[in-house]
């Protein structure tokens, strides 16, 4: 039987209308926009902005955000069409199953683990860093950093053991998700209001502290002086991916993590009251709002502090550092920002964990993963066992690996998913042109083709180690597919 056996579209549409035994429909357009903003504004903005500016793009990180936003816009338009046409849980995995077949669907589902599970781990690491910042460094370095991290503190080298705070926040949010989607959405909406307000305050106050010399030159020059790092070594900008326009592209691959979240909305399609109308509004609305805030935020941050500072002191808590060091008289804002960011990170983790559990739910229903991932709580009708297993998996990653490694892997997994969703639109317009669509991607084939090109460029711009690890992850996924998933596929058993 072909590797590319496709799931019938009418079967998926019938699944979408089953509201008695499936996931509970409780979300509206407002909830979806809040979920999108809740997932998007978080570690990517407050941590990855500094990383991209300090390592690759300098002040031109604003251009990196624009480049990444363009790729997201192309992909977002494609996601919106799929979500309105196939309103079921599973996101890109489900779309690929209908358009390109089971094998491609498995690959994309496996890649989504890099996006959602590793995304949750990355943000929980950032949550831990900000908590320690808020507590004035009260948590010993050993217990809030991975075993692969070290730093020179007070003339003595300290080595990480495990990231305990990250594990605690993952447990708390996993339990909230088990309680229910509507309850989780309410908590998320409250957090969204708080953190968007803080972003606006930082932009408003920080604008008056912008120094033109920090934006000159706008692109990192090829002969830029090396930047000092916390361990006493220096970071060179000699690589073509660490200065100039290619540095902007590499920076886009890093800050792309900041946009991850709008696609997570599509995983909640089966829990949306009117998915054909509300899904496009949620996906595109949250993307537009966050893009505007990102460009303004990054412009202010790199104007307030020199980009080289983010390699030495500001990378883990760049915003609070910039305020305390350069915005005299606004120390209170640094503490307020830290509290708001801590809450904001929580909403990102919440949506990432929800997205991953829904993808696993769909894959389990299809027989590609064990049945345990599709078991719903008898009272709350949430995939509670999936949430518990994810807590163990994500918790291990968060406690043992540093955030920069998991962040780049999250980006490459997401970009790969975006590429295949764009390909899926091209296929679907040929194979099922007459299926009703609540939203149609404009300018096909231009939009999906550009989405493929831009997202592929950002994949190439990521470092070779990230690409290698992603390749190894893919190989592991292929082994799982051929030894388990292919044999247990419900679609294959019915044909």
pLDDT of residue 20: 52
State how beta strands 156-159 and 227-228 pair: unpaired
User: Six-digit token pair at 468?
Assistant: 């290698």
SS3 of 235, please? Answer: strand
Q: Residue 247's closest CA among 325, 172, 177, 307?
A: 307
CA separation for the pair 317, 410 (Å, rounded): 20
Tell me the pLDDT band of 485, cut-offs 50, 70 and 90.
Answer: very high
One DSSP character per residue, 138-204 reads -S-GGGBS-TT-EEEETTEEEE---BHHHHHHHHHHHHHHHH-HHHHHHHHHHHHHHHHHHHHHHHH
CA separation for the pair 381, 217 (Å, rounded): 55
Residue 155: Cβ within 10 Å count: 5
Residues whose CB is less than 8 angstroms from the CB of residue 120 and which lie 6 or more positions away in sequence, other chains included: 170, 348, 349, 352, 353, 356, 390, 394, 398
pLDDT of residue 344: 77
User: Six-digit token pair at 192?
Assistant: 């969204």
Query: What is the DSSP code (8-state) at residue 1?
Result: -
Mean of per-residue pLDDT scores for the chain:
85
Which run of H or E residues covers position 74?
helix 61-85
pLDDT of residue 9: 79
Tell me the pLDDT band of 17, cut-offs 50, 70 and 90.
Answer: low
- For tokens 């949750």, what's the residue? 120
Query: What is the DSSP code (8-state) at residue 272?
Result: B
CA separation for the pair 277, 84 (Å, rounded): 7
Mean pLDDT of all residues in 466-485 = 92
CB crowding 405-414: b at 16 or more within 10 Å, else e = bbbbbbbbbb
| Tens digit of each residue's pLDDT (9 = 90 or more) over 213-230 | 999 999 999 999 998 887
The answer to whether the CB of 355 falls within 8 A of the CB of 265 is: no
Q: Give the chain's domains with CATH numbers.
A: 39-135+162-494 (1.20.1740.10)
Tell me the pLDDT band of 132, cut-offs 50, 70 and 90.
Answer: confident
Mean pLDDT of all residues in 148-154 = 74
Tell me the pLDDT band of 403, cut-offs 50, 70 and 90.
Answer: low
CA separation for the pair 94, 82 (Å, rounded): 9
Is residue 388 scored above 90 in pLDDT? yes
Q: Which of 234-238, 296-300, 375-379 has the highest mean pLDDT?
A: 296-300
pLDDT of residue 404: 64
CA separation for the pair 297, 305 (Å, rounded): 13
Is residue 381 scored above 90 in pLDDT? no
Q: Residue 46's closest CA among 200, 215, 258?
A: 258
Residues whose CB is less than 8 angstroms from the CB of residue 268 and which lie 6 or more positions away in sequence, other chains included: 27, 32, 35, 89, 181, 354, 355, 358
The conformational region for residue 136 under phi > 0 = left, psi -120 to 50 = alpha, else beta, is: left
CA separation for the pair 11, 109 (Å, rounded): 19
Is residue 99 scored above 90 in pLDDT? no
Is residue 316 scored above 60 in pLDDT? no
Higher pLDDT, 214 or 129: 214
Is residue 409 scored above 90 in pLDDT? no
pLDDT of residue 22: 56
CA separation for the pair 407, 403 (Å, rounded): 6
Mean pLDDT of all residues in 319-346 = 84
pLDDT of residue 15: 63
Mean pLDDT of all residues in 377-405 = 85
pLDDT of residue 405: 67
- For tokens 């606004």, what's the residue? 330
User: Six-digit token pair at 18?
Assistant: 């089953």
Is residue 43 scored above 70 in pLDDT? no
Single pTM value for the model? 0.79
Is residue 261 scored above 80 in pLDDT? no
Mean pLDDT of all residues in 373-389 = 88
Tell me the pLDDT band of 157, cut-offs 50, 70 and 90.
Answer: confident
Is residue 44 scored above 70 in pLDDT? no
Is residue 66 scored above 80 in pLDDT? yes
Residues whose CB is less than 8 angstroms from the CB of residue 361 and which lie 6 or more positions away in sequence, other chains included: 23, 89, 90, 373, 374, 383, 386
Q: Residue 436's closest CA among 86, 113, 123?
A: 86
Higher pLDDT, 419 or 259: 419
| Tens digit of each residue's pLDDT (9 = 90 or more) over 340-374 | 778 878 888 888 898 888 889 889 989 999 999 99
Is residue 259 scored above 60 in pLDDT? yes
Phi then psi for residue 225, to 5 deg, are: -70, 140
Higher pLDDT, 146 or 44: 146
Which run of H or E residues covers position 85?
helix 61-85
Task: Assess whether the previous peptide bond of 217 is cis (omega < 30° from 0).
Answer: yes
């Amino acid at each position: 039987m072909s590797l590319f056996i496709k799931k019938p579209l009418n079967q998926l549409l019938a699944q979408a209308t089953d509201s008695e035994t499936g996931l509970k429909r409780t979300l509206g357009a407002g909830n979806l926009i809040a979920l999108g903003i809740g997932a998007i504004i978080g570690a990517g903005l407050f941590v990855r902005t500094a990383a991209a500016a300090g390592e690759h793009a300098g002040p031109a990180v604003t251009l990196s955000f624009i480049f990444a936003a363009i790729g997201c816009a192309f992909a977002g338009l494609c996601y919106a069409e799929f979500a309105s046409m196939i309103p079921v849980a599973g996101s890109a995995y489900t779309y690929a199953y209908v358009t390109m077949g089971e094998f491609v669907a498995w690959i994309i589902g496996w890649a989504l683990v890099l996006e959602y599970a590793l995304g949750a781990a990355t943000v929980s690491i950032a949550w831990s860093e900000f908590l320690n910042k808020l507590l004035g460094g009260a948590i010993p370095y050993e217990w809030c950093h991975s075993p692969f991290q070290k730093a020179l503190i007070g003339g003595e080298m300290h080595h990480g053991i495990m990231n305990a705070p990250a594990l605690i926040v993952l447990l708390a949010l996993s339990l909230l998700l088990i309680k229910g989607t509507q309850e989780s959405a309410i908590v998320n909406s409250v957090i969204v209001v708080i953190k968007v307000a803080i972003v606006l305050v930082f932009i408003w106050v920080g604008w008056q502290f912008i120094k033109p010399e920090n934006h000159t030159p706008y692109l990192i020059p090829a002969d830029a002086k090396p930047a000092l790092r916390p361990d006493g070594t220096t970071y060179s900008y000699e690589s073509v991916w660490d200065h100039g326009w290619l540095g902007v592209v590499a920076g886009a691959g890093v800050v792309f993590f900041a946009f991850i979240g709008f696609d997570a909305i599509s995983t909640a399609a089966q829990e949306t009251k009117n998915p054909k109308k509300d899904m496009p509004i949620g996906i595109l609305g949250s993307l537009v709002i966050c893009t505007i805030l990102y460009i303004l935020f990054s412009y202010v941050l790199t104007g307030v502090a020199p980009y080289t500072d983010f390699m030495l002191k500001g990378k883990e808590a760049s915003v609070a550092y910039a305020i305390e060091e350069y915005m005299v008289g606004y120390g209170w804002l640094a503490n307020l920002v830290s509290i708001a960011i801590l809450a904001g990170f929580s909403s990102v983790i919440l949506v990432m964990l929800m997205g991953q559990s829904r993808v696993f739910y769909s894959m389990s229903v299809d027989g590609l993963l064990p049945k345990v991932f599709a078991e719903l709580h008898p009272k709350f009708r949430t995939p509670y066992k999936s949430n518990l297993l994810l807590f163990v998996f994500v918790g291990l990653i968060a406690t043992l690996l540093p955030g920069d490694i998991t962040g780049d892997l999250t980006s490459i997994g997401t970009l790969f998913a975006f590429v295949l969703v764009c390909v899926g639109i091209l296929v679907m317009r040929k194979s099922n042109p007459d299926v009703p669509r609540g939203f149609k991607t404009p300018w096909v084939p231009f939009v999906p083709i550009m989405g493929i090109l831009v997202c592929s460029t950002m994949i190439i711009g990521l470092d070779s180690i990230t690409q290698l690890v992603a390749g190894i992850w893919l190989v592991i996924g292929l082994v799982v597919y051929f030894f388990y998933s292919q044999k247990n596929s419900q679609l294959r058993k019915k044909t």
